[in-house]
Chains A and B, each alone.
Chain A
C-alpha cells in the first residue's frame, strides 16, 4: 500500500472530534466537572437564564406543583414500602400496622393517599390550562401527546396503588378494572387470567400489582423528563397565546418564575396539609377499611373520585365492549385535539365561541364525576349518556366546526402589547388567569 489509501477519496477525509471536553461558562472545580459532564451549565441555561413569557399566570405553576407531588409520592411510597407486605393474607394487617405501630406511619400513609388525590387535582387544572389557552397547538403537539401518556400512566399507577391495602374497594375495584380486558374478543379471558395469575384476583395478583405500582411510578418520572425536555425546546405558551418576540416579552426563569411558582406551591401544600390533617379520609371510601372478601361484593362500588367521570362514561353504554372502548377513547381523544382544532389562534381569550364550549366541557366533566358516583339507574343513566355524548361531540365535532367558522377577536402583535391592552381594558380576562 502506498501512502494514499485507495479506499478513501481524499476530498472526503474530514477531522473528527470524539473529545468534546470544554465550553463551560464556569471556572475552577465546577468548570472542570462541567467541562466533562455538562449538567451544571444545562441547569444554568435551562433553569436560571431560561426565558419565559412575562405574563404567565398562576395556572402555569401547576407543572412545578405536579413535579413536587411526584417527588413527595415517591418519597412517602419508599417509606411505606419498607413496612408494607404484598400478600393477600398480610396486606390489610400490614397497612393497619403502618397506621398504628410504625413511627409516623399514619402520617406517611395519609400523605401518600392524599398526594395521589392532589396529584390528580393539579393534573386536571393543568390539562384545563392547556385546553383553554390552546397549549396543544403547533409547535407543542408532541408535548401534549407525552402529557396524555403521562396521564394514562398516572391512572394505571393510582389504580394499582389503590389495590394494595386489600380492602373491599381495593379487591372489587381490581376485579372490575381487570375484567375490562375480558371485553377484548377471543383472547380477553386469557389476558385476564394472565393478569391475575389465578382464576380470580388473589395473592399473585396483589404481589405483581405491588411491583408494577413501583415500576410505573418511576416510569412516570422518566416520561416527565421527556415532557420537560420538550417544553424547553418549544418554550412555554402564555395566556395571550402569542409567541414572545423580544426581551420586552420575557423574564428569566430565576428569580421571577421560581418565586411565583414557590408561592403557588405553598398555597397548594397548605390545602394539602389541611385535608391530610383534618379530613384524611374525606377523599377515600370507608368500605376500604373492610378486609377484602371474594364472596361479597359491596352494594355500591365506586372508584376513587378522580376516575368517576370516566367510570360514568363506561357505565353509560349498555354494551360491555363498547363501554370499555368509549372509556379509553374518552381520554385518547384528547390526543387528537391538535389536529381537530384547526384555529390558528391559541388562546380562548380571543375565541369567544370556543371559550363557551370549553367551559361547558368543564361543566360536563363535573356532571359526569357526579353521576359516576351515583348508582347506575334511573335519571343518572340518562344524565351520564348526555354527558358522554357532549364529551365526544366537543372533540370530534365542535372543535373542528368552531375552529373553521368562528371569527377571532382582534389580537395584539406581541405579549407586551397584550399587557398594554389588558391595562386599557381592551381585553377581558379573569384576574388570576
Chain B
C-alpha cells in the first residue's frame, strides 16, 4: 500500500517535471528562433527612409512623373478632365476589384499610385493598354485611368500609397 502511494507520488512529480521542462524548452526555442527569423525583416535604416516629400508644381495637365519611394516606383499623374470623367463614369459592376474613383484620389486631378503590378510586381507602362491607363508587359494586365484592374491576371487595383497634401502643390508619401 505504502509502496503504491510512493509510486504514484513519483509519477506525479515526473509528470510535473516533463511538463515544466517542455514548457521552458518551448519558450526557450521560440525566444532563440524569433531573432533569427525577424532579422530578415526590413531594418531600421530601411524604415527610416519610409517617407518622402514630392513637389508637384512643375507637372502639367496630362503629365506623369515617377518617383522612387521605398525602392518602388510611384506614379504621380495630373489627370486631364477626360481621364477623370472616364474614370468616374465606369460602372462598378464591370470591375474585378470594385472601387469608385473618388475613393482612390484625394483631389480628383491628382492620381498617386504605387507603380507595381499587383500580379507579380513588374512596372506597368503608362499610356498603353485597352483602358487608357497602364499596361503591364510581363503578363498582360490592363489598368484604367484610375489605376484599376480591367483585364489580365492581376487580382487587385494598383495600390494607392499612404500620402497627404502638405501644401497646394506638395505631397508627402508614407
Question: Which residues of A pack against B, CB within 8 Å?
Answer: 172, 175-176, 178-180, 182, 193-202, 204, 208, 294-301, 315, 317-321, 323, 375-377
| B120 engages A194 (CB within 8 Å) | no
| A180 engages B120 (CB within 8 Å) | yes
| B123 engages A296 (CB within 8 Å) | yes
| B122 engages A197 (CB within 8 Å) | no
| A193 engages B41 (CB within 8 Å) | yes
* Contact pick for A376, options B66, B140, B155, CB 8 Å: B140
Q: Give chain B interface residues in 144-172, CB to chain A under 8 Å.
A: 152-155
Residues in chain A near residue B119, CB distance under 8 A: 179, 320
Q: Can you report 9 residue pairs joining A to B where beta carbons are below 8 Å apart? A: A176-B138, A193-B41, A198-B70, A199-B71, A200-B70, A295-B66, A298-B137, A319-B153, A319-B155
* Contact pick for B71, options A182, A200, A296, A300, CB 8 Å: A200
Residues in chain B near residue A299, CB distance under 8 A: 137
Q: Is the CB of B46 closer than 8 A to any CB of chain A?
A: yes
Whole-angstrom CA separation of A198 from B41 in the bound complex: 7
Whole-angstrom CA separation of A376 from B122 in the bound complex: 14
Q: Is the CB of B42 closer than 8 A to any CB of chain A?
A: yes
| B66 engages A297 (CB within 8 Å) | no
Q: Is the CB of B40 closer than 8 A to any CB of chain A?
A: yes
* Contact pick for B153, options A198, A320, A377, CB 8 Å: A320
| A295 engages B46 (CB within 8 Å) | no
B16 nearest CB across to chain A (Å): 25
Question: Are A295 and B122 CB-contacts (below 8 A) given A315-B139, A320-B153?
Answer: no
Whole-angstrom CA separation of A296 from B116 in the bound complex: 11
| B41 engages A175 (CB within 8 Å) | no
Q: Is the CB of B121 closer than 8 A to any CB of chain A?
A: yes
Residues in chain B near residue A175, CB distance under 8 A: 120-122
Whole-angstrom CA separation of A377 from B73 in the bound complex: 26
Whole-angstrom CA separation of A195 from B42 in the bound complex: 9
| A179 engages B137 (CB within 8 Å) | no
| B42 engages A199 (CB within 8 Å) | yes
A280 nearest CB across to chain B (Å): 27
* Contact pick for A176, options B68, B121, B152, CB 8 Å: B121
Q: Is the CB of B11 closer than 8 A to any CB of chain A?
A: no
| A197 engages B40 (CB within 8 Å) | yes
Whole-angstrom CA separation of A312 from B119 in the bound complex: 15
- Sample of 15 more A-B contacts, CB < 8 Å, known A196-B42, A197-B43: A175-B122, A176-B121, A176-B138, A179-B120, A180-B120, A195-B40, A198-B42, A198-B71, A199-B50, A199-B71, A200-B71, A297-B136, A299-B137, A320-B153, A376-B139
Residues in chain A near residue B139, CB distance under 8 A: 315, 376
Q: Is the CB of B72 closer than 8 A to any CB of chain A?
A: yes
Question: Are A194 and B71 CB-contacts (below 8 A) given A296-B123, A297-B123?
Answer: no
A351 nearest CB across to chain B (Å): 39
A322 nearest CB across to chain B (Å): 10
**Residue from B136, B137, B154 having most chain A Cβ neighbours under 10 A:** B137
Residues in chain B near residue A195, CB distance under 8 A: 40
Whole-angstrom CA separation of A300 from B136 in the bound complex: 10
Q: In this complex, what residue of A is CB-closest to B47?
A: A199
Interface string of B109-124 (1 = CB under 8 A from A): 0000000100111110
Pairs of residues from A and B, 7 with the lowest C-beta to C-beta distance, nearest first: A200-B71, A199-B70, A179-B121, A297-B122, A179-B120, A176-B120, A297-B123
Residues in chain A near residue B42, CB distance under 8 A: 193, 196-199, 204
Residues in chain B near residue A375, CB distance under 8 A: 140
Residues in chain A near residue B50, CB distance under 8 A: 199
**Residue from B37, B43, B68, B153 having most chain A Cβ neighbours under 10 A:** B153
Question: Are A318 and B138 CB-contacts (below 8 A) given A199-B46, A200-B72?
Answer: no
| B73 engages A294 (CB within 8 Å) | yes
| A204 engages B46 (CB within 8 Å) | yes
Whole-angstrom CA separation of A295 from B68 in the bound complex: 8
Residues in chain B near residue A204, CB distance under 8 A: 42-43, 46
Q: In this complex, what residue of B is CB-closest to A208?
A: B40
Whole-angstrom CA separation of A317 from B46 in the bound complex: 35
Whole-angstrom CA separation of A298 from B136 in the bound complex: 10
Whole-angstrom CA separation of A320 from B71 in the bound complex: 23
Whole-angstrom CA separation of A175 from B139 in the bound complex: 13
Question: Are A199 and B72 CB-contacts (below 8 A) given A208-B40, A299-B137?
Answer: yes
Q: In this complex, what residue of A is CB-closest to B124?
A: A297
Residues in chain A near residue B153, CB distance under 8 A: 315, 317-320, 323
Q: In this complex, what residue of B is CB-closest to A299?
A: B137
Interface string of B45-58 (1 = CB under 8 A from A): 01000100000000
